[in-house]
Amino acid sequence: MVNVALIVVNVLAFFYQLMLGPGLQRFLYEFAVVPWLYFHDVAPAAGAVALTTPLVTSMFLHGGWIHLGGNMLYLWIFGDNVEDRMGHGRYLVFYLACGLAATAAHIFANPASKVPSLGASGAIAGVLGAYILLYPKARVAALLPLGFFTQVIQLPALFFLGWWFVQQFFAGVLSLGVRSAQTGGVAWWAHIGGFVAGAALVWVFRRPERKPAERDLWWEGRYRH
Residues 17-75: tens digit of each pLDDT: 999 999 999 999 999 999 988 887 655 545 566 778 999 999 999 999 999 999 999 99
**Is 149's pLDDT higher than 60?**
no
pTM of the complete model:
0.86
Mean predicted lDDT score pLDDT of the chain: 84
Please name the amino acid found at residue 24. Answer: L
Comparing 81 with 177, the larger pLDDT belongs to: 81
Residue ranges of domains in the chain, CATH in brackets: 2-220 (1.20.1540.10)
> Distance (Å, rounded) from C-alpha 182 to C-alpha 179?
9
The one-character DSSP state at 44 is T
Quick one: angle between helices 188-205 and 121-134, nearest 10? Answer: 50
Task: Please name the helix (run of DSSP H) or strand (run of DSSP E) that holds residue 224, with its range, or none.
Answer: none
> Distance (Å, rounded) from C-alpha 19 to C-alpha 40?
31
Percentage of the chain exceeding pLDDT 70? 80
CA nearest neighbour of 94 among 223, 215, 165, 199 = 199
* Per-residue confidence (pLDDT) for residue 41, from 0 to 100: 62
**Is 177's pLDDT higher than 70?**
no
pLDDT in tens, 26-36: 999 999 999 98
